[in-house]
Structure formats: structure tokens, C-alpha cells
């Protein structure tokens, strides 16, 4: 692999990793509080991309407004999913919520097929022209979109860390991750904090979905499946429940995917397999993930 | 005792955990400004009484009134916002939050920055040791320090009624005395207290009035100086024949 190709791969790996990280955070935050794997999370990403698409094509909004509206819409969707599907099951056995999560995922996909249609739509018309330009960096040809995606991702991750570690609601989110009843005793409304957590994770997933759609410029009702699954693996890899773990796991997974194919082009067809190999290895040798601690027993 | 003087009134409270009948018709009164204690053996239902008042456990029947308002089965955040705080059994410090953040969780419902600052100074006065440990994670404090933090955290909501579940448990004798002293001090500043204790001697010496709980029922009640002289109490709870 030449230096320029390596540089190209490096940027692609970082961008893909960043996307996994953005999506993984929603899984890890919800799991940290409810011990629930929100299978519908990948589909929020898909709805986010469609919202951005229709914002521009149907409502003729400028792309940046449409993107912001779509991210807010994703947040609202996440909040709604919790209220409608999971909140009524808080006192039920965990398996009920898990099955409901799978059902919610099927519902969102079917809903998208019916309302948006099953035929993939090109996202190229949504992506502003300047992002499609190519610049040459040390001989490597890199799309402006790559820098834009990376910068946006890093900014969003920083914003998330700020919310979680520097704000009052973030403090409450960290508190309920270890002790729900005691957080309630502090006068905090548990359902609102959980709802906020869903909204926050879903906003990031929506943003991730839009960037994903810009990079692989088409959208379809099942587009959330693979990135959702990979991001989930990234969350497990990083140590599910840990936000920094999800970020690290996302970047490592994305980078590995790109680099392995970069170094061994003959393996390109197996690209999607790596993530699952990692999942199996981590479950075998370090089920708590690289940054995960043993989960405290919930009372 | 006239009604207006009552801070908390519990009437014929029944609580079940599945088939287990944990509280079998508890009634008790907490007058404004008093220290009331609830003593009893393991499994008597002391914690259940407090968690039901706090809204964490649902009552099957009966009534809980706070400042004249019915709060039976209200959600815990509502109960806290009305002015009841709890030092839970086992302290329940947030281990992954700093000492300062634990205190701020206590003040979660408040918006008066100056008042919060005042109360911070107040709890530092009660427990100077906390001030030196503000940036330490709650989970790394010693048991005694965690108990101080749990009490301080509850005080940070500036409660009208403070419920404490075995605040002396697991503390060295000297610290036990300190905790009972602090309880008196807090009460002296105007906070009404409902104290649950295994340490019957300490509790009865600290409180004004006491209830004795046995397997979900109140079997005895009275002013604490009388309970301290009561033969049954002496035998069963004070370890003197
Ligand atoms: N979550 C629960 N599920 C089932 N039973 C419970 C639960 N919590 C308490 N109990 C039962 O209810 C009864 C009263 O328990 P509670 O914790 O109120 O007692 P306690 O007086 O606080 O005891 P201790 O002094 O040991 O703390 C006990 O028989 C206990 O086993
Ligand atoms: Mg108890």
C-alpha cells in the first residue's frame, strides 16, 4: 500500500469509525440505564436520513435546515419509541422489552417501506455541491465530505461528552445508570431522564444516518440494519454501558474494517465478517469489553 | 396534638411484596419539629415504612398525609419536591459521581443558587471532612464518609421532613455518637426527623417519641423516656435484663 493510499484509507477509517461511534453511543447509553438492547436504534438512523431527504425534496428546505430538522425529528422519534414501547414495560421482565425492541425495529422498517417506498432513493441531490469536491492532500484524493463528516462527528461527540459530564441532566443520566430508585429519591423524574437519554442517542443516530447517506449516496428502508449492527458490536467491543468505550470501539472497528481491506484487497468480500469475528472474540475472551467494568448489580 | 402541628400522618398502612404482607396496618404521627424514631428487629418493616412514604413502594391500602396533603402512592420525585428527603438504607451514594456531584444530586429540584451555596456551607460545617473530598468519587469514600455524604445529600434538598434509615449502621462507636449529635443539630435548625434505627439505645436517647415495630405491626409507642424504662423494650431491644 502506497503512502497516499494509506492516507486515504486512514481518513476513510476515521470517518467510518466516527459514524459507528455516533451510533454506538445510543446503544450504550440506553443499555447502561435499562439493560436493554434497543434494536430499533438502527432504524432511527434510517428515518433520520429519510427526514433529511424529504425536508429538501418535498419541503424545499435548504439542506442545512433540513438536516437540523431531521436530527430533531430523530430525537423526537427516540423519545416516542421509549414512551410508547418501553416505558409501559419498565416493571416487566427484561425479555419483554427486548422482544418489543425487535418488534419496534420491524415496525419502523415496514412503516418506511409503506410510506417511503422500498426502492432506494438517491441522496446525491441532498448533498450540497461543495461537499462533493475533491481535494488533494499529500497526493491523496479526499472528498471534502470526508473532512466535513469527521469534523461534524468529532464536534457531536464532544458536545455529547459535555452534556453527560458538565450539565445537570447529564449528571442525572450518570446517576440513574447506577441507581434508579435513589435518583428518584433526589426528586428527579426518572421517565424524563430516560426519555432525554433516548432523544440524545437518537439525535446522534439521526446525524450518523444523514452522514452515512451522504457517503453512500442512497437510502432505503433497511439501510439502518448493517450500521446499526456494527455500531452495536462497537459498543460491546468498547464495553457496553461505557460512553468512552463506545467511541473508542467505534473508531477501532471502523479503522480495522478499512485497513484490513486496504492491506489485503483479496479479503474485500469478507469485509462485513470482521465485525462479527471481533464480536465473537470479545465475547469469548473479554465479555466486559475494552473499557467496560463489571456491571454493578441492579437493585 | 392539633392537626396543624402534624407534619406527617400515616394511617392504617398496608404494604405487600407479592404474597408477603410486610406492613399490616401501620399508623404513626410525626409532629412538626420533632424527632420520631421507629425501632424494631430485622425484617420488622422499618425500611418498608420509609420507602412507602417516599413513594418507592406502593401501598395496598391506607393513607399517608404530609402537611395536610394526601401523598399516598405519589411518585418519589413528587414526594421529594414536596419536602421529604431520605437517607436510604445502605447509604446508596452514587459511586461514579464525585462528592460534589452527589451533593448537587441532593439539590436536584432546587433552582436557588444562593440557597444551595448556603446549604453547602452548612453541610461542610456539619461534616468538614466532606469539603476536603469534593472531587473524589463517591465510591472511593470510606463507609463513615459515605454516611456523612448520604446525610448531607439529603439535607441539600432543604427538606421539611428528613427520613433516615439506620444512619449509624456499620460505624465506629465514636462516629455513631457523632451521627446522633448531628441528628440533634439538624433538628435544632428546624428540620423534622423520622429516624429508623437498630441501635435502639441511641435512637431512644436522641428522639422525643418512639414506635416499636414487630413483624409489620406497631406493638408499642410512647415518649422515649418512657420506652427507655419499659421492661419489654429493655429486654428485647436494649440488651438489659
Ligand atoms: N423487595 C422485597 N421483596 C420481597 N420482600 C421484601 C422486599 N423488601 C422487604 N421485604 C420483606 O418485607 C419485610 C420487611 O422488610 P424491611 O426491609 O422493611 O425490614 P426492616 O425492618 O427494615 O429490616 P432491617 O432492620 O433488617 O433493615 C421482610 O420480611 C422482608 O423480607
Ligand atoms: Mg431496613
Same domain, B167 and B234: yes
Among partner residues B56, B77, B105, which is closest to A171 by beta-carbon distance? B105
- Name the B residues in 152-191 with CB < 8 Å from any A CB: 153, 157
Give the pLDDT band (50/70/90) at residue A33: very high
Same domain, B135 and B164: no
Low-confidence ranges of chain B (pLDDT < 50): 3
Same domain, B136 and B173: no
Same domain, B150 and B213: no
The CATH number for A3-285, chosen from 2.60.120, 2.60.40, 1.10.3470, 1.10.150, is 1.10.3470
User: Cβ of A193 under 8 Å from any chain B Cβ?
Assistant: no
User: Cβ of A96 under 8 Å from any chain B Cβ?
Assistant: no
Same domain, B19 and B106: no
Matching residue, cell 492532500: A137
Same domain, B73 and B1: yes
pLDDT-wise least confident of A2-16, A33-47, A145-159, B214-228 = A2-16
State the pLDDT at residue B236: 83
Same domain, B76 and B174: yes
Owning domain of residue B116: 92-158
Q: Is there a contact between B76 and A171 if contact means CB atoms under 8 Å apart?
A: no
CA of B230 to the centre of ligand 2 (A): 24
The string of pLDDT tens digits covering residues A245-278 is: 999 999 999 999 999 998 998 888 888 888 899 8
Chain B residues with CB inside 8 Å of A183's CB?
94, 105
Higher per-residue confidence, A293 vs B191: B191
User: Cβ of B46 under 8 Å from any chain A Cβ?
Assistant: no
What is the value of pTM for the model shown? 0.92
- Taking one residue from A and the other from B, the number of pairs with CB-CB distance under 8 angstroms is 63
For the cut 70, the answer to whether the pLDDT of residue A294 exceeds it is: no
Give the pLDDT band (50/70/90) at residue A1: low
Which of B158, B188, B208 marks a domain boundary?
B158
User: Nearest-CA residue of chain A relative to B89?
Assistant: A182
Interface test with A, best of B91, B94, B98, B151 (most A CBs within 10 A): B94
State the pLDDT at residue A166: 96
Same domain, B201 and B223: yes
State the pLDDT at residue A298: 37
CA of B69 to the centre of ligand 2 (A): 26
Same domain, B23 and B68: yes
Same domain, B137 and B195: no
**Angle at CA of residue A44, ends A43 and A50, nearest 5°:** 90
What is the three-state SS of chain A? CCHHHHHHHHHHHHHHHHHHHHHHHHHHHHHHHHCCCCCCHHHHHHHHHHHHHHHHHCCCCCHHHHHHHHHHHHHHHHHHHHHHHHHHHCCCCHHHHHHHHHHHHHHHHHHHHHHHCCCCEECCCCCCHHHHCEEEECCEEEEHHHHHHHHHHHHHHHHHHHHHHHCHHHHHHHHHHHCHHHHHHCCCCHHHHHHHHHHHHHHHHHHHHHHHHHHCCEECCCCCHHHHHHHHHHHHHHCCCCHHHHHHHHHHHHHHHHHHHHHCHHHHHHHHHHHHHHHHHHHHHCCCCCCCCCCCCCC
Interface test with B, best of A185, A194, A297 (most B CBs within 10 A): A185
**Domain CATH number, residue B170:** 3.40.50.300
Pocket-forming residues, ligand 1, beta carbon under 6 Å: B 17, 20, 22, 40, 42-48, 89, 198
Taking CA atoms only, the protein residue closest to ligand 1 atom 3 is B17
Same domain, B110 and B196: no
The string of pLDDT tens digits covering residues A135-180 is: 998 888 899 999 999 999 999 999 999 999 999 999 999 999 999 9
Among partner residues A171, A181, A188, which is closest to B56 by beta-carbon distance? A181
If one counts the domains in chain B, the total is 2
Q: Is there a contact between B77 and A184 if contact means CB atoms under 8 Å apart?
A: yes
State the pLDDT at residue A296: 47
Same domain, B70 and B168: yes
State the pLDDT at residue A297: 41
Which of B158, B177, B201 marks a domain boundary?
B158
The string of pLDDT tens digits covering residues A79-137 is: 999 999 999 999 899 899 999 999 999 999 999 999 999 999 999 888 888 998 999 98
The string of pLDDT tens digits covering residues A177-226 is: 999 999 999 999 999 999 999 999 999 999 999 999 999 899 999 999 99
Amino acid at each position: 500500500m502506497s503512502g497516499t493510499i494509506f492516507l486515504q484509507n486512514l481518513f476513510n477509517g476515521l470517518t467510518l469509525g466516527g459514524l459507528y461511534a455516533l451510533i454506538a453511543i445510543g446503544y450504550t447509553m440506553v443499555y447502561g440505564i435499562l439493560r436493554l438492547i434497543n434494536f430499533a436504534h438502527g432504524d432511527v438512523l434510517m428515518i433520520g436520513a429519510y427526514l433529511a431527504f424529504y425536508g429538501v425534496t418535498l419541503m424545499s428546505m435548504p439542506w442545512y435546515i433540513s438536516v437540523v430538522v431531521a436530527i430533531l425529528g430523530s430525537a423526537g422519534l427516540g423519545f416516542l419509541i421509549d414512551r410508547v414501547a418501553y416505558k409501559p414495560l419498565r416493571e416487566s421482565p427484561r425479555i419483554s422489552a427486548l422482544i418489543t425492541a425487535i418488534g419496534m425495529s420491524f415496525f419502523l422498517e415496514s412503516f418506511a417501506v409503506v410510506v417511503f417506498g422500498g426502492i432506494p432513493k438517491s441522496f446525491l441531490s441532498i448533498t450540497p455541491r461543495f461537499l462533493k469536491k475533491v481535494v488533494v492532500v499529500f497526493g491523496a484524493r479526499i472528498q471534502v465530505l470526508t473532512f466535513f463528516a469527521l469534523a461534524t462527528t468529532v464536534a457531536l461527540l464532544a458536545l455529547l461528552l459535555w452534556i453527560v459530564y458538565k450539565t445537570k441532566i447529564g449528571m442525572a443520566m450518570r446517576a440513574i445508570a447506577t441507581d434508579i430508585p435513589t435518583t428518584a429519591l433526589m426528586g428527579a423524574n426518572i421517565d424524563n431522564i430516560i426519555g432525554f437519554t433516548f432523544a440524545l442517542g437518537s439525535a446522534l443516530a439521526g446525524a450518523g444516518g444523514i452522514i452515512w447517506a451522504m457517503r453512500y449516496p442512497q437510502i432505503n428502508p433497511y439501510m439502518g440494519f448493517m450500521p446499526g449492527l456494527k455500531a452495536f458490536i462497537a459498543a460491546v467491543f468498547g464495553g457496553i454501558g461505557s460512553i468512552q468505550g463506545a467511541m473508542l470501539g467505534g473508531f477501532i472497528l471502523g479503522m480495522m474494517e478499512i485497513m484490513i481491506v486496504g492491506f489485503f484487497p483479496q479479503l474485500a468480500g469478507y469485509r462485513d465478517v470482521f465485525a462479527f469475528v471481533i464480536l465473537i472474540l470479545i465475547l469469548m475472551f473479554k465479555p466486559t469489553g475494552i473499557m467496560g467494568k463489571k456491571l454493578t448489580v441492579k437493585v | 396534638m392539633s392537626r396543624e402541628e402534624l407534619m406527617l400522618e400515616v394511617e392504617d398502612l398496608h404494604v405487600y411484596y407479592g404474597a408477603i404482607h410486610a406492613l399490616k396496618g401501620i399508623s404513626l404521627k410525626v409532629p412538626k419539629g420533632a424527632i420520631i424514631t421507629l425501632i424494631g428487629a430485622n425484617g420488622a418493616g422499618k425500611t418498608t415504612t420509609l420507602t412507602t412514604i417516599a413513594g418507592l413502594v406502593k401501598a395496598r391500602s391506607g393513607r399517608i398525609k404530609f402537611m395536610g396533603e394526601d401523598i399516598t402512592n405519589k411518585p418519589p420525585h413528587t414526594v421529594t419536591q414536596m419536602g421529604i428527603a431520605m437517607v436510604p438504607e445502605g447509604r446508596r451514594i452514587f459511586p461514579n459521581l464525585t462528592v460534589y456531584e452527589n451533593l448537587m444530586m441532593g439539590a436536584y429540584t432546587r433552582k436557588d443558587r444562593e440557597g444551595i451555596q448556603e446549604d453547602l456551607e452548612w453541610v461542610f460545617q456539619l461534616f468538614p471532612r466532606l469539603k476536603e473530598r469534593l472531587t473524589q468519587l463517591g465510591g472511593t469514600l470510606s463507609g463513615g464518609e459515605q454516611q456523612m455524604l448520604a446525610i448531607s445529600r439529603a439535607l441539600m434538598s432543604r427538606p421539611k421532613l428528613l427520613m433516615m434509615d439506620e444512619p449509624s449502621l456499620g460505624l465506629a462507636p465514636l462516629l455513631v455518637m457523632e451521627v446522633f449529635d448531628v441528628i440533634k443539630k439538624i433538628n435544632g435548625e428546624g428540620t423534622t426527623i423520622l429516624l429508623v434505627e437498630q441501635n435502639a439505645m441511641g435512637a431512644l436517647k436522641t428522639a422525643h417519641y418512639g414506635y416499636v415495630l414487630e413483624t409489620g405491626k406497631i406493638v408499642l409507642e410512647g415518649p422515649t423516656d418512657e420506652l427507655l424504662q419499659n421492661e419489654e423494650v429493655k429486654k428485647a431491644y436494649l440488651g438489659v435484663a
